[in-house]
Amino acid sequence: MTIELTNVPVNEGITCSTCRANCCRLEVMLITDTGVPEKFIAQDKWGGEVMLRLEDGWCAAVDRETMLCTIYDKRPLICREFEMGGFECLDERT
């Protein structure tokens, strides 16, 4: 049995150089220890650990000049699993 997908965004050839880093404005809960430096960790209102976000909502670990992650090797698990050009990525871009 095959389920046909409709209204699924088409991959626009998203690469690091064309990415708008929409995912870097989402709340990121830290549920595993990947070595995120303490200066990038905040607590949410329930006491859980989340990535620190700047006043404008951007992740504090993003270099705003290059739009690259400054802690890429130690980035949170969800950031590792968020596939550039995948469904969630395309959904956030719309």
Percent of the chain with pLDDT over 70: 71
Mean pLDDT for the stretch of residues 53-67: 91
Give a yes or no: residue 59 inside a domain: yes
Give a yes or no: residue 16 inside a domain. Answer: no
Contact by Cβ (8 Å): 75, 21: no
Residue 9 falls within a domain, yes or no? no
Whether 32 maps to a domain, the answer reads: yes
Nearest to 91 by CA among 8, 3, 2: 8
**Between residues 91 and 40, the one the model is more confident about:** 40
Checking if the pLDDT of 90 tops 90, the result is: no
Q: 17 in a domain, yes or no?
A: no
pLDDT value at 44 more than 90 = yes
The whole-number average pLDDT for the span 7-27 is 66
The answer to whether 76 and 30 are in contact (CB under 8 A) is yes
State how many domains the chain has: 1
Percent of the chain scoring above 90 in pLDDT? 43
Domain coverage including residue 69? 22-93
Q: Does 3 fall in a domain?
A: no
- Decide if 10 is inside a domain: no
Question: pTM for the full model?
Answer: 0.72
